């Protein structure tokens, strides 16, 4: 499905520790692997420990270091325990990627309370809980990179995704506010807003629908997880030290 292969950004993250939520598949897996490839020790976090092992294995087989942490991102105690475990193991925490997210798509009249709460709790509350937890360590270090995964749905809305769009718009507002709070401590906080990206979900739509989607994208193709991972890698690097409170939209020009 990929029309154009992604390049590889060269970044040195040696001696740094990264935590990626939702690292068991899709974007999270690609981000975790990219960070590990660049020398970071990676804490791979998700509910499904078995799938996380596959991500960790991909990192270690490439010469990196990774550890698996099973965690419910909506539970404060679970989040705090995970962050404490990462710091206890490696002594620091430099990069936080809040990627864990779910969808429960349906039009508003049919949306249940559970549909709403599940998406808001996982996507927005999870981002809040992990950001608050890692901020304590990063403030002590006087260094940190926090990268929150938003979506173009949070910028422009999308029918059938009132809950998802609200959660991602919330992440954008959260990102901009926390960036202002933490900038003087040398902690940057940014968001990445992907557009239509290759995934198991998109593949299930079939070539006909994918073809129609591509017509709406000026680049005439959908993105790859690796392209999102490269952007995260840049924001995690020292080269992005003066970038904070920003939303990097990666959608092939769809929202231009």
SS3 19: strand
Spatial separation of the C-alpha atoms in residues 53 and 44, rounded to whole Å: 9
Spatial separation of the C-alpha atoms in residues 207 and 222, rounded to whole Å: 12
Given a contact cutoff of 8 angstroms between Cβ atoms, the answer to whether 19 and 237 are in contact is: no
Spatial separation of the C-alpha atoms in residues 174 and 168, rounded to whole Å: 10
Catalytic annotation on 164?
A: yes
Residue 4, φ and ψ in degrees, nearest 5: -130, 125
Spatial separation of the C-alpha atoms in residues 103 and 97, rounded to whole Å: 19
Q: Which of 143, 164, 234, 242 is catalytic?
A: 164
Within 13 Å and on the Cβ side, how many CA atoms surround 17?
17
Q: For residue 169, give the nearest of 146, 189, 152, 182 by alpha carbon.
A: 152
Q: Which residues contact 170 (CB under 8 A, 6 or more apart)?
A: 120, 123, 124, 154
CA dist 201 → 18, 40, 46, 170, 241 (Å): 27, 29, 19, 24, 34
Buried (b) or exposed (e) across 96-116, using 16+ Cβ within 10 A? bbbbbbebbeeeeeebeeebb
Residue 68: CB atoms within 10 A of its CB come to 22
Q: Which residues are catalytic?
A: 164
């Amino acid at each position: 499905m990929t029309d154009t292969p992604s390049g590889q950004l060269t970044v040195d993250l040696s001696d740094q520790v990264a935590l990626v939520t939702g690292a068991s598949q899709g974007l999270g897996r690609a981000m975790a692997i990219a960070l590990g490839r660049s020398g970071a020790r990676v804490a791979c976090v998700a509910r499904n420990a078995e799938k996380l092992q596959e991500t960790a294995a991909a990192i270690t087989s490439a010469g990196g270091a990774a550890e698996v942490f099973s965690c419910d991102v909506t539970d404060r105690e679970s989040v705090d325990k995970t962050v404490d475990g990462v710091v206890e193991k490696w002594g620091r925490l430099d990069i936080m990627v809040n990627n864990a997210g779910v969808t429960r798509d349906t039009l508003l009249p049919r949306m249940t309370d559970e549909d709403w709460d599940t998406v808001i709790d996982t996507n927005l509350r999870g981002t809040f809980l992990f950001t608050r937890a890692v901020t304590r360590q990063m403030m002590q270090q006087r260094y940190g990179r926090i990268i929150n995964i938003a979506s173009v749905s949070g910028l422009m809305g999308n029918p059938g995704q009132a809950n998802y769009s609200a959660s991602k718009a919330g992440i954008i507002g959260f990102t901009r506010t926390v960036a202002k709070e933490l900038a003087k401590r040398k902690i940057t906080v940014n968001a990445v807003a992907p557009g239509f990206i290759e995934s198991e979900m998109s593949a299930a739509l079939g070539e006909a629908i994918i073809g129609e989607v591509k017509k709406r994208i000026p680049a005439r193709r959908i993105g790859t997880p690796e392209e999102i991972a490269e952007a995260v890698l840049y924001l995690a690097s020292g080269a992005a030290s003066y970038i904070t409170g920003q939303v990097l939209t990666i959608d092939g020009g769809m929202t231009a």
